[in-house]
């Protein structure tokens, strides 16, 4: 029996979502750009999915653009938001996903922007006072900050960031890949210019996502080709992926409260058990549930010989998780997030991330496996 605690990387597809996608693959195979009946049938499925997503986010269907996933959506928002609005200054943080960081860093290398990085504290909170100061000195900047960190789970106060950005006429891009489907995103109540999603983080299929673009923001395509996505993204649409995304998001919203309660209880229980049986463990990120993504628990374990073997030992024991350690030198490629928050590079960290399919019994098994690993280590 294998236990899957790596849901921040990808989630198992919901059987209801999979069945809906299979039906589309088998019976709705026309090209949505074709004007005949087969094409019109498929076009209807795409627009129905768009309306579903837009309805859940309280936005217009015209503001939703389907993509190949979060990385493409991030690239499209950042590159085109900056280039098409003649922006020369961007603000982000050192703990963003590489889809954001690398895009911004390459724009700076190309001489298109000056990039400012906000300071982060030991829990992964970005310095919003510094954001205000930078925007005051650099009006009309581009701000890219994620809603929840994918490694340590620390949540951003996106309402406060939105207010700051509006005050200084800055464009605000928020990577919500880890939180879409786990929290309600009512975009009628908070002003964000760009929001990104990847379906496989919420029990949907891989290879599909969307970019929300506020109707007040106009950008040109990142990918040219046909007239798909209202001339904003060339290429034949991933129809069954789009249908699967909409169904997965619909299910997530319908059962959000019960899933959150279940998963939060697993996270709290696991932290309690780990700290009880393995002394000197600490948490990377925020402990306050209101400030931390409930699906992610990143634990920093005591120093041990062969710390880099901890994940391997868990894998051999039938546990799938992820993690690593902070960078200890320029030649050591560790976690840029753990490095930024000052985590001890000699201590191994493991990200356990949970879903609606995980159980308390699985937590007990994983904790027992961890105890075995560290008992073996202490006996050396």
Q: With 0-12 CB in 10 A as exposed, 13-18 as middle and 19+ as buried, what is 184?
A: middle
197 is known as an active-site residue: no
Residue 4 CB partners (closer than 8 Å, separation 6+): 12, 320, 355, 357, 358
**Contact call for residues 290 and 307 (beta carbons, < 8 A):** no
Tell me which residue of 259, 286, 281, 274 sits closest to 366, measured CA to CA: 274
Per annotation, catalytic residue among 165, 197, 300, 327: 327
Q: With 0-12 CB in 10 A as exposed, 13-18 as middle and 19+ as buried, what is 332?
A: exposed
Pairing status of strand 89-92 against strand 142-144: parallel
What amino acid positions are annotated as catalytic residues? 327
């Amino acid at each position: 029996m294998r236990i899957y605690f790596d849901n921040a990387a990808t989630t198992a597809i919901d059987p209801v979502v999979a069945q809906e996608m299979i039906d589309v693959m088998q019976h709705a195979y026309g090209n949505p750009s074709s004007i005949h009946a087969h094409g019109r049938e498929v076009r209807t499925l795409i627009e129905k999915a768009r309306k579903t997503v837009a309805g859940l986010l309280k936005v217009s269907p015209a503001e939703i653009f389907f993509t190949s996933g979060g990385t493409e959506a991030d690239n499209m928002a950042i590159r085109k938001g900056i280039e098409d609005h003649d922006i020369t200054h961007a603000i982000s943080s050192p703990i963003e996903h590489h889809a954001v960081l690398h895009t911004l860093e390459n724009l700076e290398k190309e001489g298109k922007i000056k990039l400012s990085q906000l300071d982060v504290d030991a829990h992964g909170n970005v310095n919003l006072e510094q954001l205000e100061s930078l925007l005051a000195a650099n009006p009309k900047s581009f701000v890219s900050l994620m809603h929840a960190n994918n490694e340590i789970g620390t949540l951003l106060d996106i309402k406060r960031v939105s207010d700051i950005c509006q005050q200084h006429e800055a464009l605000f891009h928020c990577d919500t890949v880890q939180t879409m489907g786990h929290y309600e995103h009512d975009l009628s109540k908070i002003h964000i210019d760009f929001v990104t999603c990847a379906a496989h983080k919420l029990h949907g299929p891989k290879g599909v996502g969307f970019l929300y673009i506020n109707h007040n923001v106009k950008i040109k395509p990142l990918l040219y080709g046909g007239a798909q996505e209202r001339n904003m993204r060339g290429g034949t649409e991933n129809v069954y992926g789009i249908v699967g995304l909409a169904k997965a998001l619909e299910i997530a919203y319908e059962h959000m409260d019960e899933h959150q309660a279940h998963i939060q209880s697993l996270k709290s229980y696991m932290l309690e058990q780990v700290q009880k049986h393995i002394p000197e463990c600490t948490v990377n990120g925020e402990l306050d549930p209101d400030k931390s993504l409930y699906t992610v628990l990143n634990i920093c374990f005591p120093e041990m010989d062969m710390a880099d073997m901890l994940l391997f030992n868990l894998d051999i024991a039938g546990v799938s998780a992820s993690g690593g350690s902070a960078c200890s030198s320029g030649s050591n490629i560790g976690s840029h997030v753990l490095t930024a928050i000052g985590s001890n590079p000699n201590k191994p960290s493991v990200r356990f991330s949970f879903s609606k399919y995980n159980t308390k019994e699985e937590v007990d098994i994983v904790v027992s496996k961890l105890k075995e690993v560290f008992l073996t280590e202490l006996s050396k």
